[in-house]
Amino acid sequence: MSLDTARMVRMANAIRALSMDAVQAANSGHPGMPMGMADVATVLWSEYLRHDPKAPDWADRDRFVLSAGHGSMLIYSLLHLSGYERPTIDDIRNFRQLGSPCAGHPENFLLDGVECTTGPLGQGLAMAVGMAIAERHLNALFGDDLVDHRTWVIAGDGCLMEGINHEAIGLAGHLKLGRMNVLWDDNRITIDGDTDLSTSEDIKARYEATGWHVTTCDGHDFADIRRALAEAAADPRPSLVACKTVIGKGAPNKGGTHHVHGAPLGAEEIAATREALGWTSAPFEVPAEILTDWRATGERGEAAHAAWHKRLTSDADRRARFVNHMMGVSDLAAPALEAYIQGIAANPPKVATRKASEMALGPLTEKLPQLIGGSADLTGSNNTKTPSTTPFSADDYAGRYIYYGIREFGMAAAMNGMMLHGGVVPYGGTFLIFSDYCRNAIRLSALQQIGTVYVLTHDSIGLGEDGPTHQPIEQVMSLRLIPNLNVYRPADAIETAECWALALQTPETPSVLALTRQNLTPVRGEGDEDWTGASNRCAKGGYRLRSAKATRKVVLLASGSEVEVAVATAEALEAQGIGADVVSMPCTELFDAQDAAYRADLLPADALKVSIEAGVTIGWERYTGVDGLNIGIDRFGASAPASDLFEKFGITADAIVPQIMNKLNG
């Protein structure tokens, strides 16, 4: 039930006051957007958004995404005012300071109620597409009684300009995600100045062209805002609401200009704003009657939550199925693969690891209904579809395979949103070279501590004739630079299955599976017939695949397709009486996490250490030392069959053995 206009104005002004005071105290931040969208946010949170501050993780809550994350004081104000445990007023007082959960941009792991980490413009909206996908899928599985919520997004001009916006809204429109509503802060201002400086496109027409419902409202007229939000909620299409606003609304001199976008108002302008708003409270103080009105906004969500919980618990079998589904797959992945790995260990197949991935996905997708796959228009190349994953479409939201189209960045961000939503575990494929297109979303997977899985095939010059534009050289090593990201480069079918198990066991760490196009000779099999999750050799990141027969003088480290090259090199050295260990290194991140004794045992000080990887050599010296050898490719590739390329670039035993002999002989 809506409050009278005077009370709504005071509630919105509380957002304005907290926002300008926090930015002023920090001497940095973006007060303009929170002040401009305060009226829209007040109507949304008090009358439309279904949430329960006392249960922030309620599964059927509406999701609210502040895509324009630079305006973070908007969500911090909303969370505090509506009664979430944090941020406290002291947290807000310490906005942007060390130790405060009120960071410069909202971070999902710092505050309940922040659904995703935003700031890189456009990604919040794109993640919201993934949340809307997850909602529709779970709704198809469990019905309206348990899953029936909306995804609301506040986005600015920058979010709508970024290229990822085109990818995201195209996908949402195609899939008819009508539970998604975007509230556009249409204030015509960017940091540089008026948007006329940089754009003249018809944004509303662009959204309409992609299948969205579009409406407008006066972002400072409560009745008109209500009308537009109701219209958006009722339309079966995803909706864009263009909210005409004044940036920095309330600031008499700087409001409506770019000067209020990304800088404090200043003491003089804040005093003038207080007078213009009739706000007489001291900084960081909210009058009791206004706070009471705000705290009452959560009551609607509390009642809805209670009714939902009653429905959930009315059927014990359905409750168990729902709860188990929402728990994820981290404890189920290894058991799902045991019989498969034991089966192929007896007769290891010579296949590309992209094919080995498909083989492992067979039992995984059959036994784990939470898995939702997809590909950015490379299904037949990424091998990400299985018989258990029928297409997810506007006609069948129960499907578990998403055809993302040529939208690598949009796919990656949507998968993040799906993982953040809960109840689904997404994996998606493209070529490794195109990880550069979606890199910032991969980085956000790591930053947000979510276990999104990226299946990146065609992982080296081994893809062959497509040439240097498609042959990754620096990509594997560059992905290894991202904190909290596990990069797996398996050497054969068994390692690929082990890496899949590990990827699904880390819900707080995303994974990259870098997989080959070319077939690989098996390096594992014997001894794996009784495989269990506990005997996963890849779990340590690196392990001794073969021990030296003669006195050990060399340790060969390799990943992926180059492990078989290392094995051939070791055999050639042993034929000359030189003992050589072979260490398979599928995941350097997991290896680095092992204790010093384990690492020293694999990389002894008295042996020449040689790395072999068909990519840049930088980074491997941390394992081989200054006196070691690093075999790789520090230039772009060429167009030719894979075998010719490995010979040209010296990634063969015949080319490597003489270099080792020269090094040993001084």
* Catalytic residue numbers, as ranges: 408
Residues in contact with 288: Cβ distance below 8 Å, sequence separation at least 6, in sequence order:
none
Q: Do 526 and 541 touch, CB atoms closer than 8 A?
A: no
Nearest alpha-carbon partner for 207 in 232, 190, 225: 232
How far apart CA 74 and CA 41 sit, in angstroms, is: 8
How far apart CA 395 and CA 145 sit, in angstroms, is: 20
* Strand, helix or coil for residue 403: strand
Nearest alpha-carbon partner for 228 in 169, 179, 183: 183
Q: Do 255 and 266 touch, CB atoms closer than 8 A?
A: no
Report CA Rg, the chain. 28
Q: Please work out, in degrees rounded to the nearest 5, the angle formed at the alpha carbon of residue 23 by the alpha carbons of 19 and 26.
A: 145
* Strand, helix or coil for residue 543: strand
Q: Which two tokens stand for residue 543?
A: 């392990």
Q: State CA 128 to chain mean position distance.
A: 11
Q: Is 150 exposed, middle or buried (0-12, 13-18, 19+ CB in 10 A)?
A: buried
Which residue, chain included where needed, has tokens 């990226």? 454
In Å, what is the CA distance from 568 to each residue of 491, 556, 575? 14, 11, 11
Q: Do 536 and 502 touch, CB atoms closer than 8 A?
A: yes
Q: Which amino acid is at 339?
A: A
How far apart CA 61 and CA 75 sit, in angstroms, is: 16
Q: State CA 351 to chain mean position distance.
A: 30
How far apart CA 135 and CA 148 sit, in angstroms, is: 7
Q: Is 278 exposed, middle or buried (0-12, 13-18, 19+ CB in 10 A)?
A: exposed
Q: Would you tell me how many other CB atoms lie within 10 Å of the CB of residue 99? A: 6
Q: Which amino acid is at 5?
A: T
Helices (H), 37-94: 38-43, 73-82, 89-93
* Strand, helix or coil for residue 646: helix
> Any idea what DSSP says for residue 85?
S
Q: Do 66 and 74 touch, CB atoms closer than 8 A?
A: yes
How far apart CA 292 and CA 83 sit, in angstroms, is: 10
Handedness of CA 453, 454, 458, 462 (dihedral sign): negative
Q: Do 379 and 457 touch, CB atoms closer than 8 A?
A: no
Q: Which amino acid is at 36?
A: G
Residues in contact with 137: Cβ distance below 8 Å, sequence separation at least 6, in sequence order:
372, 392, 397, 398, 399, 400, 423, 424
How far apart CA 414 and CA 129 sit, in angstroms, is: 6
Which residues make beta-bridge pairs with 190?
193
